[in-house]
Every structure is written in C-alpha cells, then in structure tokens.
Amino acid sequence: MGLLIPSSGTLFWMIIIFGIVFFILTKYAFPVIIRMVDERKKYIDDSLEAARQANEQLAQVKVESERMLKQAREEQAQILKEAVTARDRILKEAQTRAQTEARKALDETRQQIIAEKESAINDIRQQVAILSVDVAEKILRKDLTGEKEHIELIDRLLDEMLQTPDKA
C-alpha cells in the first residue's frame, strides 16, 4: 500500500487506540475540561455582572455629584446674596452713623461758637464797661473807691445802654 493509504491492520489498531483514548478522555478529561469551562463561564458572567453594577454605581455617583454640585451652586448663590445684603446693611449703617456723627459734631461746633460768641460779648461788655467807667470817672473826676461801686456802676450803665436804641 502506499504512503497515503494505511494498511488494514494499522487502521484497526488506530481505531481501537482512538476508542481507548476517547473513552479515557470522556471518563477523566472531558468532565474536568467541561468543569473548567463552566467555571470560566461563571467567572465571566460574574465579571459582567460586577461591571454592570459598577456602571450603575458610577451612574448613581454621577447623578449624586451633579445634585451636590447643583446644591453647592445654590448655596454659593445664597451666600453671595447674604453677603450683598450684609454689605448694603453695613454701608447704610455706616452712612447713618457718619451722618449722625457729622450732625453731632456740627451741633457741638455751633454750641462752641455760641459759647465763644457769648464769652466774647461778655468780654467786650466788660471792657466797654471798664472804658465807660474810666471815661465817666475822668469826666466826673470822681474816683470810685470800691469794687462794689464799680460793678454797680457797670451794671447800671449796661442796663441803660441796652434800653436806649443806637443812634447811628
């Protein structure tokens, strides 16, 4: 026979050896292989389920982060609004306080001016009275002896000046 066609004896033994090997593989190897394939399939299915759950959790985390971001923006807007309100209130209070202090300072200045004016008028009256007494004394050539007489004369002359209208 030729190289490509085996003899019948060789063919017979090949079939018997194939059957024995097939029986051994079926009895011992195929269950192990099938079990390993099933385990691998289960591992892949579990991995796919874990990936699906991870995707769901990622989607939930994304939704949660968007919600938190929205909430943070709302809080930021609220804080800015409160800050603007507080700034306006502080400015208004500062303006009111400044106006009050300015009015108070102006009133104090006016009172001080009035007091100084009255003091100046009193000083002028005293000087005028003293000059008047000196002039009257020179005119009368009479020397007033006591201070009490000076004050009485000054008061009388001032009263007369206030009662008589100015001759201008």
Residue 168: what pLDDT? 40
- For the full predicted model, state whether its pTM sits above 0.75: no
Q: In this prediction, what percent of the chain has a pLDDT beyond 90?
A: 61
Residue 143 predicted with pLDDT over 60: no
Residue 153: closest CA among 166, 167, 139: 139
pLDDT band at 52 (very low <50, low <70, confident <90, very high): very high
Q: Residue 76 has which token pair?
A: 């930021």
CB atoms within 10 A of CB 129: 19
Contact 14, 6 (CB under 8 A): yes
What's the rounded mean pLDDT across residues 118-127? 86
